[in-house]
Amino acid sequence: MVVTALVELLAPSRCLACRARGPMPWCAACDANVVRIGHGCQRCGGRSGRGHACWPTRAPVDATVALYDYAGPVAATIRTAKLGGAHGAWPLLGHALTERLLAAEVDVDVVTWVPTPAERARRRGYDHAALLGRAVASGLGLPGVALLHARTHLRGDVYRFRPPADLPGTRMLLVDDVLTTGQTAARAAGVLRAHGGDGIVLAVVARAGAHPLGA
Ligand SMILES: [Zn+2]
Ligand SMILES: [Zn+2]
């Protein structure tokens, strides 16, 4: 609520997807097309049910919270917030994600995020993942710490652990914008696990595929 009020002060409310003036995050027409995932499988955040494609046993993720299907207005919002300079969307998406994490009673010590390699973040003007992760940390009243450093690699971004001055605990919430194949999130979570992370919870705004690491 505080975040929403702050954003209202800075800019008139516009739908994050179609930019029509009106309530945030989405106007009624766009909101009708937002697909909320609801409480599905705890481990992969997808719709549970027999035979659903879950994280494989070896995946270093203990639980996943996913808010929306990556489609329609949600996909449009994330694309413009990531690539189109509409960075004001991230605190709002972070707020929505926080509410869902509180409802799910996620219990962690520290919030971190899947970072964007510096060169890409410079080109875009910001690291959207850090904006999202810090918004979630502040919403949960937990420390938000940049525990990972990213660099680009031919086969996808690679992550290195950045030892913090003071690690508040080992139960970590790893925030990212979209979960697709799960490769990126699993790579980042693997680095956290290798450096003492236990009970790693992945929180994503949207989930694109039904098959974490299943591609
Ligand atoms: Zn709209
Ligand atoms: Zn599952």
**Residue 75 alpha carbon to ligand 1 centre in Å:** 12
Give the three-class secondary structure for 84. Answer: coil
**Residue 154 alpha carbon to ligand 1 centre in Å:** 37
User: What's the confidence (pLDDT) of residue 86?
Assistant: 85
**Residue 209 alpha carbon to ligand 1 centre in Å:** 24
User: What's the confidence (pLDDT) of residue 40?
Assistant: 78
**Residue 43 alpha carbon to ligand 2 centre in Å:** 5
Contact 181, 204 (CB under 8 A): no
Contact 205, 177 (CB under 8 A): yes
Its pTM stands at 0.91
Ligand nearest to the CA of 46: 2
Residues of the chain falling short of pLDDT 70: 1-12, 210, 214-215
User: What's the confidence (pLDDT) of residue 41?
Assistant: 87
Question: Per residue in 59-114, pLDDT tens?
Answer: 999 999 999 999 999 999 999 999 888 888 999 999 999 999 999 999 999 999 99
- The size of the chain, in residues, is 215
Distance CA 33, CA 55 (A): 27
User: What's the confidence (pLDDT) of residue 3?
Assistant: 62
